[in-house]
Amino acid sequence: MGTQAVTVSDGRTLTLAEWGDPTGFPVFSLHGTPGSRFFRHYDESAYVEAGARVVTYDRPGYGGSDRHPGRHVVDCVEDVAGIADRLGIGSFAVIGISGGGPHALAVAARLPQRVSRATCAVGIVPYDTPDFDWFEGMDPLNVKEFSWVLQGEEVLVPELEREAAETIERVADDPAKVMGDDWNLPEADRAELARTERHEVIRQSVAEAFRSGVWGWVDDDLCFAQPWGFDIAEIRVPTRVIYGSSDVLVPRTHGEWLARNVPGAEVVVEEEHGHVPDPDLVAERYGWLVRPA
């Protein structure tokens, strides 16, 4: 359905894409970290089957979207609302995967008059959560990345520039290696990444994510380490929390905490999966999102 750029209220440009059924119910799909608007299901018929008009966009600093230095998680709310306004969309659902999860929760919390349903899939817990071990069960490489975050932008930027260059090189050779061999990924994640039907989407999404540098990744990481700017307890719309039992990028303890603390959450535990979503479940997930609240 094409890509377009829109200007939001503060003058920044955001680049979006649409997929699926143009007459379907609108669903904003918020990509992970790092990512881009090209992160999607490889077969749009899954969205058509669900009756979904899927809108994706590059968060600030990724792809074709202007950077928003110092942004907080909650700042995505105005961006999503601005895109919806410019597309003539009133009500919509929202789903966020991984780094998109907190952003989806923010939209659900702050736009209850417009959001019909929300899903947070393999999303993290706020870093400042009391009495919560944020790193328990997390892969050492993810822990290392967050140590760069805590040291600030001057440390984080060169490290992510190196990581991005290595990722681009790996993906050019074999998209299944997008995560590299040093991660302790469960076999379920390795098997999903090896599915050849995923590979063109991985190529497109990675290339676009870093087209303007690593600033989107930098600002995502920094905003995750700060107060998010909203309280999860504010959420009043029907919300699903999905997590994988063998996830080492966002360990199941994060999903369990969200399951307990998102008001009225419908909880889906994927016992056979890790962090990488099963594409065969997409039609069901989006079917739930487009269902009347």
Q: How does pLDDT run along the chain (293 residues), one tens digit per residue?
A: 689 999 999 999 999 999 999 999 999 999 999 999 999 999 999 999 999 999 999 999 999 999 999 999 999 999 999 999 999 999 999 999 999 999 999 999 999 999 999 999 999 999 999 999 999 999 999 999 999 999 999 999 999 999 999 999 999 999 999 999 999 999 999 999 999 999 999 999 999 999 999 999 999 999 999 999 999 999 999 999 999 999 999 999 999 999 999 999 999 999 989 999 999 999 999 999 999 97
What is the pLDDT, as a whole number, of residue 161? Answer: 98
How far from each other are the two terminal CA atoms of the chain, in whole angstroms?
Answer: 26
Q: Are 290 and 283 in contact (CB under 8 A)?
A: no
User: Helix, strand, or coil here: 247?
Assistant: coil
Distance, in Å, from the CA atom of 208 to the CA atom of 84, rounded to the nearest integer, reads 22
Q: From CA 267, how far away is CA 102, in angstroms rounded?
A: 16
- CATH code of 3-290, in short, is 3.40.50.1820
Tokens of 28: 């904003």
Peptide bond into 251 cis (omega under 30): no
Q: Which residue has the tokens 């377009």?
A: 4
Q: What pLDDT sits at residue 32? A: 98
